[in-house]
């Protein structure tokens, strides 16, 4: 399924290690679903979550956002529309350059696990005849420029974030995401805390082709509309989808 980013303004983030709400019909009004997390996440429970969601809302695109390459398998790649790998600007090396290197190294080393087919291998690297299959898998993978702005969050701890970025640095990270790295997504993450519009306003002028996402503390339609009015292309809602489905519905813009 193609993702029409221009039509997306509400994204739901689903943690596959957490129980899903009993009524997945609440996802009908969201525009995109991202599946991923860190604690207790596996390729198997990711696949299970994606399957349940796909059965409930088959017309909504699904993106897997893996924390680790072990969360990805041929089954998860086949089940989702894209795989998004974050590059955290204010995190440690492991969560910027190294994460992408490790991810693509796994594809080269374990072609059967990732592509679902045995491919000719020389040593630990895929031989020429298998490269087209690998390229096909790689074509569904996209990178996200990521800024984590809540130092007290688990996301900050896991990715080695030691300081937040100033609004000027957020603007610089946005510009680098589009002009230097050519990533399709720039994601400002406040992870459970509402960060307001300042960072979004700073980033928006530097993004023409790159999609601007904001996530963190969205618990009402009013907050959604504030962030969208500030220039975000879409807001991302996660915690209340699992914890308070009624509140989740109230985050969907009218």
pLDDT on residue 116: 54
Chain centroid to CA 17 = 16
Lowest-pLDDT choice from 40-44, 72-76, 158-162, 236-240: 72-76
Identify the band that residue 94 occupies on the pLDDT scale cut at 50, 70 and 90.
confident
Q: Examine residue 204 and state whether it is found in any structural domain, yes or no.
A: yes
- Domain of residue 57: give its range: 5-249
| CB-CB neighbours of 110 under 10 Å | 16
According to DSSP, residue 32 is labeled: E
Mean pLDDT (whole number) for 44-60: 96
The mean per-residue pLDDT over the stretch 176-184 comes to 95
Structure tokens at 138: 């790689």
pLDDT for res 68: 79
Q: What is the mean pLDDT of residues 58-87?
A: 89
Please report, for the domain that includes residue 173, its CATH number: 3.20.20.390
In a domain, 57, yes or no: yes
Q: Kindly tell me if the per-residue pLDDT of 21 is higher than 60.
A: yes
Task: Choose the weakest-confidence range: 91-95, 162-166, 170-174, 213-217.
Answer: 91-95
Does residue 40 lie in a domain region?
yes
Residue 127 pLDDT:
45
Instruction: Quote the CA–CA distance of 80 and 92 in Å, as a whole number.
Output: 28
The pLDDT of residue 24 is 96
pLDDT at 229 over 50: yes
Tell me how far apart the alpha carbons of residues 14 and 165 are, in angstroms, rounded to a whole number: 26
| pLDDT for the residue 96 | 81
Residues in the chain: 254
Where does residue 131 fall: left (phi above 0), alpha (psi -120 to 50 degrees), or beta otherwise?
A: alpha
Distance CA 28, CA 129 (A): 42
Measured between alpha carbons, how far is 99 from 219 in angstroms, rounded to an integer?
31
210 assigned to some structural domain = yes
* Residue 228: inside a domain: yes
How many structural domains does the chain have? 1
Residues 108-165 have pLDDT tens digits of: 665 555 555 444 444 444 344 445 556 666 678 888 999 999 999 988 998 899 999 9
Q: What span, in angstroms and rounded, lies between the C-alpha atoms of 218 and 162?
A: 24
Tell me whether residue 254 is in a domain. no
pLDDT above 70 covers a percentage of the chain that reads 87
Q: What percent of the chain has pLDDT over 90?
A: 67
3-state secondary structure of 178: helix
């Amino acid at each position: 399924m193609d993702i029409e980013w221009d039509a997306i303004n509400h994204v739901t983030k689903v943690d596959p290690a957490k129980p899903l709400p009993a009524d997945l019909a609440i996802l009908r009004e969201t525009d995109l679903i991202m599946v991923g997390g860190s604690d207790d996440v596996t390729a198997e429970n990711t696949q299970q979550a994606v399957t349940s969601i796909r059965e409930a809302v088959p017309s909504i695109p699904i993106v897997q956002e893996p924390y680790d390459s072990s969360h990805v398998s041929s089954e998860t790649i086949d089940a989702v529309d894209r795989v998004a790998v974050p590059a955290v600007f204010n995190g440690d090396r492991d969560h910027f350059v190294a994460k992408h290197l490790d991810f693509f190294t796994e594809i080269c080393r374990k072609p059967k696990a990732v592509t679902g087919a045995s491919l000719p291998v020389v040593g630990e690297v895929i031989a020429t005849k298998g490269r087209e299959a690998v390229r096909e898998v790689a074509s569904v993978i996209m990178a996200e420029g990521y800024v984590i702005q809540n130092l007290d969050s688990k996301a900050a701890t896991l990715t080695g974030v030691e300081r937040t970025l100033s609004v000027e640095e957020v603007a610089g990270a946005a510009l680098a995401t589009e002009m230097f790295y050519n990533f399709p997504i720039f994601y400002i993450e406040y992870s459970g805390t509402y960060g307001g519009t300042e960072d979004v306003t700073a980033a928006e002028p530097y993004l023409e082709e790159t999609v601007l996402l904001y996530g963190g503390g969205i618990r009402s339609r009013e907050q959604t509309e504030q962030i969208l009015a500030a220039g975000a292309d879409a807001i991302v809602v996660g915690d209340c989808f699992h914890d308070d489905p009624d509140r989740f519905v109230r985050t969907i813009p009218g």
